[in-house]
């Protein structure tokens, strides 16, 4: 493993960890950075799959107490805690269902047609403008905790998440903005997006492994390990600090960043 490859792997891990849970599109950033670096990851798709796994484990670690408590109380039918655990699980699964169905049906089209720096650049700009409009005209929040979200609204958030299958849209951005349109406050919409990321990203990772199984090998394990570690540590920091940031500043900073980045990248691609 040469130094340049190791540094590129670390950079891509940082990009994944920084962007996966923020409304700026991790997939879009990876496509743009890989294209700019000319990075050829080891073992085909394995590198990208493993660094995404690092981000998943980070959010699971941050919310490990809530996840464990929910699992332990699922079968408790006599207490309010048990009912809350089952409702919480139901709304997360309801929100996950649309993307699972659409992802399976449209996997080939998404991977072969839409994964383009041009698509990413345009959708970064469009998504940024949409975020500014939603921040300005969103309805008055009615839900202030994930446990308060109804199944109907959770399903609607899941439909918004399907739009994020277009690279550059952002899974986090689509679910958070969709949640806000459904009357969920900023803080809760962001946290709900984190919880929804767990089944969504696990399913996407498993499906990617299944689709790319014959291309996988242990070659470049050190490079993969560097990317994984950087993604995990960076995502850990982001998840722990994001809610406080958006509670104070909203999503306008992310929207402006998206518009600037998309414009710059589009200019570079078209020159």
What the block records as the tokens of 251 is 């999503």
Percent share of the chain, pLDDT over 90? 52
Which three-class secondary structure state does DSSP give residue 140? Answer: coil
d(CA 67, CA 80) in angstroms, rounded, equals: 17
- By the 10 Å C-beta count (0-12 exposed, 13-18 middle, 19+ buried), 60 is classed as middle
Radius of gyration of the chain (CA): 18
Which pLDDT belongs to residue 219?
Answer: 57
**Average pLDDT score over residue span 98-121:** 79
Which pLDDT belongs to residue 251?
Answer: 93
* Number of domains the chain contains: 1
User: In the structure, what pLDDT confidence band is assigned to residue 104 with cuts at 50, 70 and 90?
Assistant: confident
Beta-carbon contacts of residue 179 (< 8 Å; ≥ 6 apart): 149, 153, 157, 160, 188, 189, 192, 193
Which pLDDT belongs to residue 129?
Answer: 96
DSSP string, 201-268: HHHHHHHHHHHTGGG--STTHHHHHHHHHHHHHHHHHHHHHHHHHHHHH-SHHHHHHHHHHHHHHHHH
Burial 69-85 (b: 16+ CB within 10 A, else e): ebeebeeeeeeeebebb
**Average pLDDT score over residue span 118-136:** 92
Report whether pLDDT(265) > 80: yes
**Average pLDDT score over residue span 83-111:** 86
Query: Which of the two residues, 221 and 125, has the higher pLDDT score?
Result: 125
Which pLDDT belongs to residue 86?
Answer: 92
Q: Which long-range contacts (CB under 8 A, 24 or more apart) does 114-117 make?
A: 114/165, 114/166, 114/167, 115/27, 115/31, 115/167, 116/31, 116/167, 117/31, 117/32, 117/35, 117/265, 117/269
**Average pLDDT score over residue span 31-59:** 79
**Average pLDDT score over residue span 139-150:** 90
Which pLDDT belongs to residue 217?
Answer: 58
d(CA 38, CA 52) in angstroms, rounded, equals: 19
User: In the structure, what pLDDT confidence band is assigned to residue 150 with cuts at 50, 70 and 90?
Assistant: very high
Q: Tell me the pTM.
A: 0.86
Which pLDDT belongs to residue 203?
Answer: 85
Torsion 159-87-199-106 (CA) sign: negative
> Residue 30: which domain range?
3-270
Distances (CA, A) of 90 to 172, 179, 261: 20, 16, 37
**Average pLDDT score over residue span 53-74:** 92
**Average pLDDT score over residue span 130-137:** 93
Q: Beta-carbon neighbour count of residue 47 at 10 Å?
A: 23
Which pLDDT belongs to residue 42?
Answer: 59
What is the 3-state secondary structure of 169-188?
Answer: CCHHHHHHHHHHHCCECHHH
Does residue 117 contact residue 261 with C-beta atoms inside 8 Å? no
């Amino acid at each position: 493993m040469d130094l340049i490859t190791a540094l590129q792997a670390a950079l891509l891990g940082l990009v994944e960890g920084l962007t996966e849970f923020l409304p700026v599109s991790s997939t879009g950033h990876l496509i743009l950075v890989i294209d700019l670096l000319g990075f050829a990851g080891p073992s085909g798709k394995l590198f990208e799959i493993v660094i995404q796994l690092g981000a998943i484990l980070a959010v699971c670690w941050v919310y490990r107490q809530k996840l464990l408590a929910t699992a332990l109380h699922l079968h408790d039918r006599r207490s309010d805690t048990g009912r809350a655990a089952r409702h919480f699980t139901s709304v997360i699964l309801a929100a996950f269902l649309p993307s699972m169905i659409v992802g399976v049906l449209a996997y080939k089209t998404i991977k072969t047609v839409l994964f383009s720096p041009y698509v990413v650049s345009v959708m970064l700009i469009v998504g940024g403008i949409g975020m500014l409009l939603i921040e300005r005209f969103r309805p008055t929040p009615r839900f202030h905790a994930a446990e308060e979200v109804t199944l109907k609204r959770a399903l609607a958030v899941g439909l918004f998440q399907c739009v994020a299958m277009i690279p550059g849209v952002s899974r986090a951005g689509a679910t958070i903005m969709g949640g806000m349109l459904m009357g969920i406050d900023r803080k809760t919409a962001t946290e709900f997006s984190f919880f929804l990321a767990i089944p969504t990203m696990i399913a996407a990772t498993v499906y990617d492994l299944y689709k790319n199984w014959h291309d996988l090998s242990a070659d470049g394990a050190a490079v993969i390990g560097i990317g994984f570690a950087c993604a995990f540590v960076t995502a850990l920091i982001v998840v722990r600090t994001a809610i406080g940031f958006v509670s104070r500043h909203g999503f306008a900073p992310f929207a402006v960043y998206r518009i600037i980045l998309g414009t710059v990248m589009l200019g570079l691609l078209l020159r």
